[in-house]
Chain A
Amino acid sequence: MKSPQEVNADPAYKQALTELLYQLADDDFVLAFRGSEWLGLAPHIEEDVAFSSINQDTMGHAAMYYQLLEDLGEGKADDLAHGRKAFERKNAILLEEVNGPGHYLKEPYYDWAFAVVRHYFYAQAKKVKIDSLKNSSYEPLAQAAVKINMELYYHLLHWKTWFTQLASAKGEAPERMKKAVVKVCQDFAGVLTLGPKADEIAGFHLIEDENQLKQRWVNEMEKVFSPSGLQLPEVEMVRGDGRNGIHTTDLDTALETLSEVYRQDPAASW
């Protein structure tokens, strides 16, 4: 499929495509938001610069996906990003989770181990998906994947470096990393799943089958885990499938914050 016009003539294809695009867009959007809460709080200034750059890229990727949805007639990209209710969102539950106790402006006791593990695992999963999306049957999405891939290379390198460094460091770091790995794995299946329309999404060759993608992700993770003696737990979806619109109150508060100004006047030009 080359254009939105062709897609609009095929309702079943369109349904699968928009489902996938919402997952991709909402995942990047909410994680970039969580990342932006870290601003000024990273372990050192160099990391603050690098992390903000990654968040900015990720927000840019979300904007590209929302634009693809806008082109398909789903509404304006800004409204899709800021105006949808929590139950309409398709992001994985793990990505909406708070960075740690506290508020981003007041006494944030954010957990750097959780940040590193969540971002590293996510960047690797995103890499697997993006590689597959480069051959998507929807050409505008395949083109977006090529662009995203260039930036993603650095994100993955960045988080992998942090992960291996802290996992084998001295002091309390390895123990904190182990705990974070367990925590992230409990919900990571929610990132890897393509949700209730997984068969249609793969059937229309929008992206490969979710089991294949998951296996590729596990293989990549094993390359890092095995030599370090760390164990990769089985990934689960303990709190439910965000692709189904199931979410936690963390998403409600996130949406409240990120759309605070937008909601003052959604029709206004900002």
Chain B
Amino acid sequence: MSMTLSYDRLSEEEKHRRFLDRIEKGEKIEADDWMPDDYRQTLIKLISMHGISEIMGALPEKEWVPKAPSLRRKLGIMAKVQDEMGHGQLLLRVAEDLMKPYGKTREEIMQDLFRGDLKFHNVFHMPAPTWGDAGLIGWLVDGAAIITQTNMLKASYGPYARALKRICAEEVFHAQHGEAIILALAEGTDAQRAMIQDAIDRWWESLLMFFGPATSTTTGTSKQDITIKYKIRTKTNEQLRQDFLDKYIPRVLSLGLTIPDETLRYDKTEEKWVYKQPDWSEFKNIVRNNGPKSKDRLNLRINAYENNAWVREALSPDEAVV
């Protein structure tokens, strides 16, 4: 108690200095600790976007859950999508704790999503028209997610770092689930192989966009500088994209598949992949809910929310959950 009181008497600058010292020493910041406003706001934005992306991310796969072609695949994709929902729930709980001082709840997160103020990941605005897409999402989208999430496992904010630890462990299973679907198709008939190539061609640009622009000059905004400054993450967007290309280009090629970028090459002197830039203006457009499936998926969520209003009413207002 006395420590809290003395901490309260410190000036804002002193609090800020001590906060940075703690981060510098690798200490974890907890939900009830003092933190600068821009740190809190960055975390709220990052974690609620992450949480909502997990939930919206269930929707492209939703189509394929009932349609999975065997009992084993049905069970696999059901388990996978259930995990994604669970991650969403876990992350929204972390975001809710951060929002408490502002008097905000999960209701506001949902309303922000419905209004278009809270964005979700670019990949989840895209169509998934075949079973090949279901496999590719598990394999490469989850593979990309593992890379970005591993980058934040040592995040200075303790509750987020701990949630990510659990999420990453499950994502590894998802990537294996996706890879198993892809391998079965790759070893299958010509039509099955064509299905994966088609999915790669469709998803390649979105996968490059997944890591975000290299600098804020590309799209006007980027959160990477502040997240690195506060030790929420360590690597830049471009470093993460290069890690992804390092890991997956050889795997894609080893299956006899091609990457839809004739300019793609590895520069040995610079030790990096040189690739055709995706259309970053299109990226901005997509995350503003103008992607091919943005409206449909948002409408599905809004529709379910309104359709179940009577259930929320039935659960007492004190216990209301959204």
Contacts and interface: CB of A to CB of B under 8 A. Distances in A.
A13 B145 CA distance: 53
Interface in B268-322: 296, 299-301, 303-304, 307-308, 310-316, 321-322
Contacts of B301: 40
Contacts of B267: none
Given A56-B79, A109-B307, A269 B188 contact: yes
Interface in A166-182: 166, 169-173, 176
Interface residues of A, number: 52
Given A173-B314, A258-B67, A270 B73 contact: yes
B234 interface: no
Nearest to A171: B313
Interface centre among A46, A59, A108 (most CB of B within 10 A): A59
A52 B78 CA distance: 7
Q: Is the interface of A mostly helix, strand, loop or mixed?
A: helix
A41 interface: yes
Interface in B7-37: none
Interface in A184-198: none
A106 B62 contact: no
Nearest to A52: B82
Interface residues of B, number: 52
A170 B313 contact: yes
Contacts of B303: 107-109
A170 B319 CA distance: 13
Contacts of B72: 63, 78
B61 to A, nearest CB: 9
Interface of B: 55, 58-59, 62-75, 78-79, 81-82, 85-86, 88-89, 92, 131, 181, 184-185, 187-189, 191-192, 296, 299-301, 303-304, 307-308, 310-316, 321-322
Interface of A: 33, 36-37, 39-46, 48-49, 52-53, 55-56, 59-60, 62-63, 66, 77-78, 81-82, 104-110, 112, 165-166, 169-173, 176, 257-258, 260-262, 264-265, 268-270
15 contacts: A36-B66, A40-B304, A44-B308, A55-B78, A56-B75, A59-B74, A77-B71, A104-B66, A106-B296, A109-B307, A166-B311, A176-B310, A269-B187, A270-B73, A270-B192
